[in-house]
Each structure stands twice: as C-alpha cells, then as structure tokens.
Structure 1
Amino acid sequence: MTDAILTVPTTTSPADNALPEGWLAVKSLDLEAQGVAHRPDGKVVFIDGALPFEVVSANIHRSKSSFEKGTLTQIHRESSQRVRPDCPHFGLSPQSCGGCKMQHLHIGAQVAVKQRVLEDNLWHIGKVKPGNMLRPIEGPTWGYRYRARLSVRFVRKKGEVLIGFHERKSHYVADIKECRVLVPHVSAMLLPLRALIASMDAIETLPQIELAVGDMGLGAAEVTAMVLRHMEPLSEADLNRLRQFAVAHPGVQWWLQSKGPDTVKRLDELPGHETGQLAYTLPQFGITMPFRPIDFTQVNPHINRVLVQKALALLQVEKTERVIDWFCGLGNFTLPLATQAREVLGVEGAESLVARSRENLTFNRSQAQAGIALAATEFVARNLFEMTPELLVGDGAADKWLVDPPREGAFSLVQALAALKQSPELRGALGAGWTPPKRIVYVSCNPATLARDAGVLVQEAGYCCAAAGVVNMFPHTAHVESIAVFELEA
C-alpha cells in the first residue's frame, strides 16, 4: 500500500479550484477516520465517511471559524481503496453501530493510515524519526475480539432489549443482531442474550455485560465469562435463568457485579455443567496465563502472541541479563522474558495485579514444560505515574527494559531515567552501581504519548529510536497500537 494515500498537500491544487461549487477533494484521514478536505480559502472540512482521493459532497452539521464537520452525502469520484463493509450494522446514519469506523476502507489502507499516524506523531510531537520502520504486525480482521463491554438497555417504547455497542456519536445502544469483530460464537449469542434479559425480573436494572473469552480453559474447553452488572439484588428466579442459559450454551460462565470491580463474584454452576478456568496461552514460550474476566488482557489474542514474540526478539535478551518489565500487568511479557533472561523484575501499579502476577508465576513454574525453566522473577507494586530517580535506582540497574503503559504513557518513568542519565552526580549520590538500560522496547496504545515519551528518551536521555512500527490490534477501528525500539547511544 503506497504512502501516497495519506499525502496532505500544503496548498490547494488548481484541480481543486476547478471543482464545482460545494464539491470537496479529500486528501487524508484524521485519527477519527474522517476524510480531510479544504475549501478554496483553505478552511479545513472533516467529512465522516469520505476517503482519501475522493471527490465528494457533504452535509455540514458543524461550522467554526477554522473548520467544518459534515457527513458524506454523495461520492463524485470514488477511491480505489473503498470496499463494501462486511457488517450489516456499519453505516453513517446516527442509528448505525459506532463500534467500527473504517470498515469502508481496504484493510491494507487502514494499516497504512495507522503507520502514517505513528510517523507523524513521532515527528511532530517528539521530533523523533525512527531509523527503521518495522513491518506492521497484522492478524485476523474479523472475529478477533475476545473481550468486549456490551451495553444493555430495555427500550420500553419498543418493548424490547438491546445489547451491543453505542450508536455513532450517541449514548444510545445500537440495535445490532450480530457483530463481525466479536468471536463468532459470542456474536451468535447476541439475540439469545436479548431474549434472556427480556425474560428477567430485573430487566430494567441490568446496564452492562462485560465478556472475556479464553483461548483455552484449564481442564475444560473454551471458556466464555460474562460479567453481568446488576443495580439491584437478583431474584432466585433470575439466577436460575442465568444458570439455564449457561447450560444451553456450553462454556459460558456467569459472574455477577453489584457495584465496583471488587464486588465481582462467580455464580455457582449447575452440577454436571462446570466450566474450566479462564486462561490464554503463549505457546511459543510454554506459558499459560489464567485470568479473571475483569483483569486487563489484550482484546486480540492472535495479535498478542505475535506482539510478545516480536517484542522479545527486538529486545534481544541474553541469559546473562537482568530485565525490568514496567507496567507488567498479569505478566504478559514478564513470564516470557523469564524464559530468556537471568533475572526479571515486573513492576505494576495495583497490588491486586501484582498478586495475580505472582499467582501466574507460581502456576507456570508448577506446569513448566520439559526444557523450559523460569529465571528468578519478582513482582512489585509501584506508582509508575510518580516515579523519581530515587525510586528508579532503588529498583536496581537492568540491561534491558520492556515498557507497556496504558494510554497515559510512561512520562514520569522516562523523565526519571533522563534525570539520572544527565547527572553523574545524582547517579553517584543515589547508587554508584546504577547504569541505564542499553535497550528499551516500548509497546504503546497511544501514539501521542509514545511520541512525547520518545522525545524525552531521544532529546534528553541519550537514546536513538532504532525502529518503530504499528500493531493492528483493532482492525476496522481508528485505534493505533505500536511498538518502538530505543538504543543507548555511545
């Protein structure tokens, strides 16, 4: 896919001036997957549903002094990258499902858009240009979503229950009967779930179902956990309805949430219909990761396997090295690292996640495959948004770092690293033996905060950005995941 699909000229071309009045030549896509065009006077117009290289007309619904926003009404010249959306619920009407924004764009062009977003953010925010652009990490484009938070609503006027994602630019629940990005067996349960909720006494006080699918069950087949948020105690009749639904749909296990996340508990199962424990696997490393349905795990396990393998290959860990995994979560990178390093430290903000990481370490040590031994591994809780040079030195020197922060990024962490790198006196006062990591692999779910942190690493901490690339974790959405490699310059 050529990068030309995203070229944004700085001035309006003569051809644009020759267009009939009201027609707009689309030059690029923005982060919300809106087409970007310019009026003859240079005013920017964002057009929902339009693609690069198209000439379109739009219905303008918002106008400001510097920009306008509108919705595509007619295509006068169509892009070669426009495709027919696979999902019947995708569209531009307000009632359409808002879960995906790019289904009308060829999947290769979607990846090209995300690659350009990453490059632009790195340069414009961090003033960083990677030495090498990595080949995008891609996987299945449909049926990839193993986690989802489904909204539930009883529409009294219609006398029916809706379950799914929100409508486009709305808090209303879209009337969807299937979802092509969900795991197929979960998509097939959307209508049975609607019927289940419609039959319950608590029909009006059940706002949400959070679901998680394991790619294997410990001691059983594939497990689908559903966490039902209920605003009032459930009657025994409703609990029995949930149990019977699980019997009719093998592998389903119900969890109940009455208030916050700490109230989530498993519903007992009917004898003879027990399901296994929720888990996913990293078979390249002989690792199995048990998890609870509200624990953070990646939405796309297919991409996660490739991402973990790629990140460790880029980190180039040796058996003699100590590695720190910052924002380690359940140990998604930590435990695979423990199969390659001499020593690994996993650092996470929440004590509950640290406890789960330790459980996973113990489990994998007990289940270790022949020839696979886990290195000395420790997990600690640390507020990574309030890191200081003192705390950084306290965690000890490491040869390599793996950094996998949430959307907020790792600004405090890289600032502490930069302060130590810039001040030999500070390093000497805090710990004479501390040295900065030779290589850092940074996995990001937000290109803007990655670019900000990359700017600190390159401009202040003495690193170069050796490589970067996109990870298409969420096909058909505008969400951009990426990975970058930083090497300490001599």
Structure 2
Amino acid sequence: MPIGIIESLDHEARGITRLEGKTVFVDSALPGETVEYASFRRKPSYELAHLVSVLRPSTARVEPRCPHFGVCGGCAMQHMEPSAQVAAKQRVLEDSLWHIGRVRPDSILPPIHGEPWGYRHRARLAVRKLAQKGGVLIGFHEWRSSYIADIQSCAILPPHVSALLMPLRDLIASLSIAERVPQLDFAVGERCTALLLRILEPLKAKDEQLLRDFADRHNVVFYLQPKGPDTAYRFYPLPGPRLSYTLPEFDLELDFRPTDFTQVNHAVNRVLMRRALRLLDPRPVERIADMFCGLGNFTLPIARSGASVVGIEGSETLVKRGRESALSNGLAEFVEFGLANLFECSEASLAALGHFDKMLIDPPREGALELVRAIGPDGPRRIVYVSCNPATLARDAAVLVTSKGYRFVAAGAVNMFPHTSHVESIAVFERV
C-alpha cells in the first residue's frame, strides 16, 4: 500500500497528499502525518482513499470522545485537537479566498470559537423503524451512507438532548405509525426544548396521549409536521413556554419555530454578533441594510444602535416574524422589513430600496453573487459579509474587489460547528 505525507486538509477535512503528480484525499489523516492509505476511487487527476494506518502521528491527533466517531457522519474532526481544528479552518478560508477569488484581506481577524462539546442547539435526525429487529434508530446518517448510525448518545448535542435519544427510540417504537415517522428535529430555546416529529400519517388518540405523557415526563414541547415545513404546528403543551433565543448584550429575545433557520451554536452566535456590530460600527444617523436577514438575527442588534435598518428577506413568513420581533422588542420605529428575492437582484431593484450607508450580508451557502453584482456607484461605503461557505465568499469578494472598487479590509474564520468540516467566516470591505 502507498505511503504519503499529509500536507494539509481540504474543505471536507480530508488529508491531502501527492502520488506521482496526482492529489490524493485521505479520510481521517491530519497535516504533518505520515500515513499508509488505500485508494477506493481513482480519477485521472485525483484519488480518494481510506486511512489504513498512521505511521507518524500529528501532535494534534487526539482520541475521539464519541464512541460512534468514524461510523456516524455527524462529525469529521473529533480526532483533531479543537484549537488545531480552528487553525485548519482558518487555512481553508485563506486558501479559498486566494485560489478561488484571487483576493487576500489586508489583515486576518482572530478566529471565533467556543466550547467544542454540547454546542449544537438545533439538528435534524433521521428516524427509521427496523422491522426485523422491532426497534427504532434515531441519529445522523452514517459516514457516506444512507444508513442511520446506531447511536445511544451524542457528545455535540446538549447533554439533556443526548439523554433523550434512547427514550425517544422507545416512544416512537410504541406509536401506531412508527414506520411513518421519517425524521425528528429538535430546537433548544431559552425557555424550552422543542421536538418536531415529521409524520406521514395522522396520529391516533393513543399516540397523542403517549406524546403528552413523554412531554410531561421529560419537560419538552412537541410540534408535528404532517407535510411541508409550513404545516408544522405546536401540539403539546398548549399553552406553553416560548421557543426563543436571547442576545443578552443587546437586550433582545427572538421567537422562532423549529423549522426556522437559526444559528445552532448560541454561544458562538453571540460572539459573532458582537464582532459583526463592531466591524459594521452602526451610527444613529446611518441607514443600514441587512440582506438575507431571516428572523432579524443581525437586524435587531443593529437597530439597538439607533441606526435606521432595512432587513430584506425572500421568505414572507420570516418577514412577518421579523416585524413581530421588532415590535415585541420595542424597535419597530427603527426597523423596516421588506420582501425580495436577492438571488434575482439587479442594479435597478437594489437602487429602488434607496441609499444605504452600510450593508450586512448573511447569505445561505449559495452566496450573494447577484446582490454584489448589483451594487452601483452609490453603494454602501462599508460591507460586512457573514459567510457559511468559503468558496462563495471568495467568489463574491472577487467581484467586490475587482469590479466594485472595494478594499478587502479583513477576514477571519468562525468555528460555529466544532468537529465538523463546516467553515463559517466574517469579512469586511470598504470603498476605496
């Protein structure tokens, strides 16, 4: 079997080595290691390989905490010391900016990171009844597989949620529609923990009572989703505690539903919020845009500065909830929420929103290409870009720098998802 020295990690946390001019991606190998590997897929310019043995380990290699690591696909980096994970993600960000966008920031921001365990306050878990075994599996999918990992606990979930995995198996197995429950979402809020069951058939009266008893026993709130995300509704208890998260530094509490997008890592989100606001530096006399604003995660903190804020979002439901949050937090006079498809943005449609002194952009993985292309000569003098995909950030940064006359001031990694290969980041641009 071939032996290689690992040079770096790619964006999926695979080790990179070379063999006769070809790039070889080795699962679970770490930079600096000498490893033996076996290729399982060969292409003309690259190979994919499994790690066979580590001949010379990295000082960053550690024993994974979770007994399911290597089978469960929920994590990819538990074998790497947490601070080394952060450094690797920073390198992925910098490499993406240069190799994809041919841009480099003037300075690198210190990476944002937090507690590496028990951080995941939202997740979607697959559910499957095993007819031949008479039981139910609940968990993430196995690594590169459609099978569900047989996990009894999960170290990245909050401990009280991890402790519910086995009781939930028993609960769903006892339902008359156990074979028609394909997924379970959970969301941990400030005041309650919500469990959302996707059900493909209506519950019977006995099933409903089982859910009520479970909710009372484990102090959770059940939501049911019979069809698409818009059909999700609160089942029990009614009435009950609010599902919300707080931003104490800005004296804010935002309600959300289990199907809404919210940041999974509450502690890191608060640090990210603080940095974004410091970089944006909103002033009371300014008019600021928050693009892809969602529920108002950035919109409302910006409004706390006294600036006039316009939050733009493509979902009518989220726009409505953003307005409700602004009202409940006493910020309605500072905030305007608007509905627009920013993936089909043009210079004319952006100009129709009026002049903005500054702009915050927080797009999904697809990035904000049409939006940055639409920025005209009277565009904002400062842009803070929060990204969940280094590749699309690099692409959009290239447009801002080479076509729109912005200086790439700074960028840094955000470890929102410890032990995974997911890289979030924040960048700031200013007009030259």
Question: In the TM superposition, what whole-angstrom CA distance separates every residue of 1:335-369 from its partner, at most 9, and x where no partner exists?
Answer: 1111114311110011111000001011111xxxx
Task: Give the drift of 1:157.
Answer: 2.2
Out of 133, 138, 142, the position equivalent to 1:158 is 133
Structure 2 counterpart of 1:325, one-letter code: D
The match for 1:141 is 116
Counterpart contact for 2:282–2:307, Cα < 8 Å: no
Q: Which runs of 4+ in 1 moved over 3 A?
A: none
Number of aligned residue pairs? 432
The match for 1:207 is 182
Q: Tell me how far apart the structure 2 counterparts of residues 402 and 485 of structure 1 sit (CA, whole Å).
A: 9
Q: Tell me how far apart the structure 1 counterparts of residues 83 and 21 of structure 2 sit (CA, whole Å).
A: 30
1:406 aligns with 2:374: no
Counterpart contact for 1:125–1:448, Cα < 8 Å: yes
Out of 337, 340, 352, the position equivalent to 1:394 is 352
Task: Give the drift of 1:54.
Answer: 1.1
1:84 aligns with 2:63: yes
Counterpart contact for 2:75–2:419, Cα < 8 Å: yes
Q: Tell me how far apart the structure 2 counterparts of residues 374 and 230 of structure 1 sit (CA, whole Å).
A: 37
Structure 1 counterpart of 2:210, one-letter code: R
Structure 1 vs Structure 2: percent identity of aligned residues?
55
Counterpart contact for 1:338–1:375, Cα < 8 Å: no
The match for 1:3 is none
Question: In the TM superposition, what whole-angstrom CA distance separates every residue of 1:246-292 from its partner, at most 9, and x where no partner exists?
Answer: 01101x1111111111111111327xxx6301000011111111111
1:65-464 matches, within 5 Å, as: 65-91=44-70, 96-214=71-189, 216-217=190-191, 223-250=192-219, 252-269=220-237, 275-365=240-330, 376-417=334-375, 420-421=376-377, 435-464=378-407
Q: Tell me how far apart the structure 1 counterparts of residues 269 and 333 of structure 2 sit (CA, whole Å).
A: 22
Q: Tell me how far apart the structure 2 counterparts of residues 268 and 245 of structure 1 sit (CA, whole Å).
A: 10
Counterpart contact for 1:278–1:292, Cα < 8 Å: yes
Question: In the TM superposition, what whole-angstrom CA distance separates every residue of 1:161-217 from its partner, at most 9, and x where no partner exists?
Answer: 100100010011000000000111000000000010111111111000111110x22
Task: Give the drift of 1:375.
Answer: 5.2
Aligned-partner SS, 2:137? strand
The match for 1:424 is none
Q: Tell me how far apart the structure 2 counterparts of residues 476 and 110 of structure 1 sit (CA, whole Å).
A: 7
Counterpart contact for 2:9–2:92, Cα < 8 Å: no
Structure 2 counterpart of 1:75, one-letter code: V
Q: Tell me how far apart the structure 1 counterparts of residues 355 and 280 of structure 2 sit (CA, whole Å).
A: 16
Q: CA RMSD in A?
A: 1.2
Task: Give the drift of 1:64.
Answer: 2.0
Aligned-partner SS, 2:216? helix
Q: Tell me how far apart the structure 1 counterparts of residues 105 and 14 of structure 2 sit (CA, whole Å).
A: 27
The match for 1:61 is 40
TM-score w.r.t. the length of structure 2 is 0.98
Q: Tell me how far apart the structure 1 counterparts of residues 141 and 236 of structure 2 sit (CA, whole Å).
A: 31
Q: Tell me how far apart the structure 1 counterparts of residues 363 and 261 of structure 2 sit (CA, whole Å).
A: 12
Q: Tell me how far apart the structure 2 counterparts of residues 374 and 201 of structure 1 sit (CA, whole Å).
A: 47
TM-score w.r.t. the length of structure 1 is 0.86
Counterpart contact for 2:355–2:380, Cα < 8 Å: yes
Segments of structure 2 that go 5 or more residues without pairing to the other structure are none
Q: Tell me how far apart the structure 2 counterparts of residues 264 and 290 of structure 1 sit (CA, whole Å).
A: 15
Q: Tell me how far apart the structure 2 counterparts of residues 488 and 23 of structure 1 sit (CA, whole Å).
A: 49
Aligned-partner SS, 1:90? coil
The match for 1:36 is 16
Flag the 1:375–1:458 CA change in 2: closer, same or farther, 3 A. farther
Flag the 1:87–1:204 CA change in 2: closer, same or farther, 3 A. same
Structure 2 counterpart of 1:411, one-letter code: L
Counterpart contact for 1:338–1:374, Cα < 8 Å: no
Task: Give the drift of 1:158.
Answer: 2.3
1:13-52 matches, within 5 Å, as: 22-39=2-19, 41-52=20-31
Q: Tell me how far apart the structure 2 counterparts of residues 304 and 43 of structure 1 sit (CA, whole Å).
A: 39
Question: In the TM superposition, what whole-angstrom CA distance separates every residue of 1:298-352 from its partner, at most 9, and x where no partner exists?
Answer: 0111111111111000011111111110111000000111111431111001111
Q: Tell me how far apart the structure 2 counterparts of residues 376 and 70 of structure 1 sit (CA, whole Å).
A: 54
